[in-house]
Amino acid sequence: MKFQVVLFDGFDLMDAIAPFEFFAAAAILSPENIIVELVTAEGKRRVKSGVNDVEIEATGVIDPNAEGVILVPGGAGDMYGDGPNSIVTKLKKASETKLKTLLKKAAQNPTITLTTVCGGSTLIGMMGLLNGRHAVTHHMGMDALPAMGARPVHARIVDDGDLVSSGGVTSGIDIAIYTIEQKLGPKIAHYIEKVFEVERRGTVWSNKGQEPYLN
């Protein structure tokens, strides 16, 4: 099983690196053969983050055929406007690379759960991968989701089956632990919480159960 964390030019450091560390720790604790890797659409290369151009080494190319998880982070930069350093511009640029082809292929693989942190859902929305799906993103980007065909849900984590999204930056920790629980079980997830001295926040929304009865 593979846990692939996607990097692209302008990615947000915490969105990507926090889940990567949690996944790596879970892999050590699991008796299964778990591969955790930083990947790009182009393969092995150094990738600049959107904060101070910090460079991180990606070691492989996205594998859309591997069973497991692909996590897509958001971008970092100017929060307002659409200038060259804006988050929107960086996400749009990433959505027009080979990343689009690979993530579309991954989304068609029933053995892959596509997960997003913060603006990662906006990124895949730009690729047409949110059409008809329930999703969340950073609170500042929620109004943009309907135009992408998404059904916005204001929750910390939104589980829509093979697509699981999370809200703003620190929710990457919550979705990492939730993903570990779903793939490797609650015992390892609970141990990870103890090791990192963190408790998950918020309710995981999923499209199950009864609808609230509102008079």
Q: Active-site positions?
A: 118
For residue 51, with 0-12 CB atoms within 10 Å meaning exposed, 13-18 middle and 19 or more buried, which class applies?
Answer: middle
Q: Cα 172–89–16 angle (5° rounding)?
A: 20
- Residue given tokens 């093979």 in the structure block: 162
Helices (H), the chain: 13-29, 87-95, 98-107, 120-126, 171-184, 186-196
User: What distance in Å separates the CA atoms of residue 154 and residue 167, rounded to the nearest whole number?
Assistant: 8
Name 106's Cβ contacts closer than 8 Å, sequence gap at least 6. Answer: 62, 64, 70, 112, 114
User: What distance in Å separates the CA atoms of residue 63 and residue 5, rounded to the nearest whole number?
Assistant: 11
